[in-house]
Amino acid sequence: MHLIDYSIIGCYFAVLILFGLYLRKRASRGLDEYFLGGRKIPWWVLGVSGMASNLDMTGTMVIISFFYILGVKGFLIELRGGVCLAMAFFMVILGKWHSRAGVMTIAEWMEFRFGKGKQGEIARLLSALAAVITTVGMVAYFFVGTGKFLSLFLPFSPKVCSLIMIAVALFYTVLSGLYGVVYTDLFQSLLIGFAAIFISVKAFMSVDYAAVQAITPPDWTNVIPSWRMAMPSGYEIYNLLGLSVIFYFLKVFIEGFGGPQGYTAQRYFSVKSDRESGLFSMLWISLLSFRWPFIIAIALLGFTLGPQVTDPEMVLPMVLVHLIPTGIKGLMIAALIAAAMSTFDSTINAGASYLINDIYRKYITPTATEKQLIRASYGASIIIVILGIVIGVITPTINTIWGWITMSLGAGMFIPLFVRWYWWRLNGYGFAMGTAVGIIGAILQKALFPYWPEWRAFLIVSLVSLCGMMITTLLTEATPSAVLNNFYSKTRPFGFWHKVRQGFDQRVLSSIRKETRCDLLALAFAIPWHLALFLTPVHLVLHHWSRFYLFLSILVISSIGLYFFWYKNLDRDYSKD
């Protein structure tokens, strides 16, 4: 790289450090300020931050590798996580359910759902431990992918490159908490937006549809999957692509109706109202649409390099090295570093909140002052990062750890997280046992059967979790009625709540039923809207006009449906209908 490119990257790092120093005082006012921004951060800032947090560099490299191998069908593999389709569920239903609880973390939410007795404490502890394990895995994922990418541009080894990135991100995240996370994300989103638009336009102007057909494998532009695919070495677990896609859709529905986790849940706990929950979700999803033309553009440009590309996971850095001019290259790399930083800072801040709020303050030092808790948060962040680095050192590929986090480990937690909303009888003991055996099952699967297809790992680990949850729930006492009544009246969920509904006035129940009908109808428009929003610009870049107009039509129709059945109801008080 040229000195100009290095200077741009250096200036970017300096700006992040200044953000951390500037926002330190505001974040140090208390734990609520440090982890939730005092619930005073504007919804549009949270939405932009959420988008930036999802656009990590490592995940982008993985997704590009699938698009390079499979073409547009690579989009279907990323239903496992990268498409973020669960956000459609959060936008319409689960986001507002979360924000109504008035808590700081998912673990603290467990006491809202199961009470502050023994079962609530056990559920809270297991939820916190599960969140920390996931956070450590995400740090490892960040460590592997970041080093692999940056070592092509910086004169250091992959591990040293990762450590430099981690040091800078940890500095401003530890100092400034969620304020530093969301406001640095706001700055970083400008760089990300520039990169997405520049690369998309470059690819669109470089090749037309005939040229795309000439340089790509047969059927590369077709989004419809074959049941069986001949995948290259290292990707054999996706040979049964059709079956994998079915399970990815199943995972999306369980995850979507199970509610947000990690830093996503943290954003929902930070909003002020149902309306803000919906609006920031819509903005988050809309801004994520810029990712997909960027991804298909990079994959397409990768084919112009011919045999120089030997590793699909290295398509992104290879395109930057060979096809992007000096100066612009520095901005592009800074943008991709920004994508990585925004994911890392959100993950660390959310993970530390579980260690401090749900373990340290709850069990170790319950009398700690706010200043002591904030200082402890610094140490919690550092511990999480160290553990993640250790795991990252022994992880062979980016996709290996991403697939395990999103499918196997995720399956170990999805079932209890799903059932907690819809079945009154689930108690804290059952939730804790389902989570514990699910996580243990995921770890054993990774250790003993690492080459299982993702769909098989998901299915078996989910069944283990389900059995542990159901048996324990039915063998132990139910959650106290007062706790369930409070949860039901505030959250207003649908599902199997007949025992709880018996104590409510019919007017209240009628308003809940009306809200449920409107929400489910809106969801029927939100899912195709989400998918069409992402696939429309993909086919625009490819000059695939028939598919472009098809998805554009779906986008317009679903947008109209969302306006009438969702947006116009954001301020609706169903109890007054």
Mean pLDDT for the stretch of residues 259-282: 89
CA distance 99 to 352: 20
Rounded percentage of the chain residues whose pLDDT exceeds 90: 34
Task: Count CB atoms within 10 A of the CB of residue 450.
Answer: 12
User: Taking a C-beta distance cutoff of 8 angstroms, is the pair 465, 434 a contact?
Assistant: yes
Mean pLDDT for the stretch of residues 448-475: 86
CA distance 357 to 110: 13
pLDDT of residue 334: 86
**Higher pLDDT residue, 553 or 343?**
553
Q: What is the pLDDT of the chain when averaged over all its residues?
A: 86
User: Taking a C-beta distance cutoff of 8 angstroms, is the pair 407, 458 a contact?
Assistant: yes
pLDDT of residue 540: 95
DSSP string, 217-229: -TTTT--SPPSS-
pLDDT of residue 526: 97
| Structural tokens at position 245 | 């896609």
Instruction: pLDDT band for 398, please (50, 70, 90 cuts).
Output: low
Q: Is the torsion defined by CA of 425, 429, 435, 439 positive or negative? A: negative
Q: Residues 261-271: pLDDT tens digits?
A: 877 888 898 88
Half-sphere exposure (Cβ direction) of 497: Cα atoms closer than 13 Å:
23
Q: How far is CA 518 from CA 89, 93, 413, in A?
A: 13, 10, 29
Q: How far is CA 490 from CA 333, 389, 428, 483, 485, in A?
A: 46, 41, 19, 11, 9
Chain Cα centroid distance, residue 496 = 28
Instruction: pLDDT band for 405, please (50, 70, 90 cuts).
Output: low
Q: Which residue type occupies 496?
A: F
Degrees to nearest 5, angle at CA 474 with 473 and 478: 65
Instruction: pLDDT band for 6, please (50, 70, 90 cuts).
Output: confident
Instruction: pLDDT band for 399, please (50, 70, 90 cuts).
Output: low
User: Taking a C-beta distance cutoff of 8 angstroms, is the pair 308, 74 a contact?
Assistant: no
Instruction: pLDDT band for 293, please (50, 70, 90 cuts).
Output: very high
pLDDT of residue 552: 97
pLDDT of residue 104: 84
Q: Does the structure show a pLDDT above 70 at 411?
A: no
pLDDT of residue 120: 93
Place of tokens 């059995």: 467
Q: Which residue type occupies 395?
A: T
Total domain count for the chain? 1
Indicate the Cα dihedral angle 537, 69, 285, 543, nearest 10°: 0
- Per the document, the length of the chain is 577
Domain that holds residue 143: 3-576
**Higher pLDDT residue, 517 or 78?**
517
**Higher pLDDT residue, 77 or 488?**
488
Degrees to nearest 5, angle at CA 100 with 97 and 102: 130
Q: Does the structure show a pLDDT above 80 at 577?
A: no
Chain Cα centroid distance, residue 285 = 11
Task: For residue 167, count CB atoms less than 10 angstroms from its CB and return exposed for 0-12, middle for 13-18, buried for 19 or more.
Answer: exposed
**Higher pLDDT residue, 516 or 57?**
516
| Structural tokens at position 567 | 């947006």
Nearest one of 66, 562, 70, 48 to 290, comparing CA atoms: 48
CA distance 114 to 108: 10
Rounded percentage of the chain residues whose pLDDT exceeds 70: 94
Q: Residues 20-62: pLDDT tens digits?
A: 787 777 767 777 777 777 778 888 888 888 888 777 777 788 8
pLDDT of residue 270: 87
Q: Residues 138-174: pLDDT tens digits?
A: 888 788 777 777 887 888 888 888 888 888 888 888 8
Q: Is 547 helix (H, G, I), strand (E, B) or coil?
A: helix
Q: Which residue type occupies 194?
A: F
Kindly state the greatest CA–CA separation across the chain. 71
Nearest one of 283, 274, 276 to 519, comparing CA atoms: 274
Q: Residues 505-515: pLDDT tens digits?
A: 899 999 999 99
What's the chain's Rg over C-alpha atoms? 23
Indicate the Cα dihedral angle 271, 99, 525, 553, nearest 10°: 20
Place of tokens 């419809």: 224
| Structural tokens at position 413 | 């937690």
527: domain CATH number is 1.20.1730.10
User: Taking a C-beta distance cutoff of 8 angstroms, is the pair 156, 146 a contact?
Assistant: no
Mean pLDDT for the stretch of residues 361-384: 87
User: Taking a C-beta distance cutoff of 8 angstroms, is the pair 507, 567 a contact?
Assistant: no
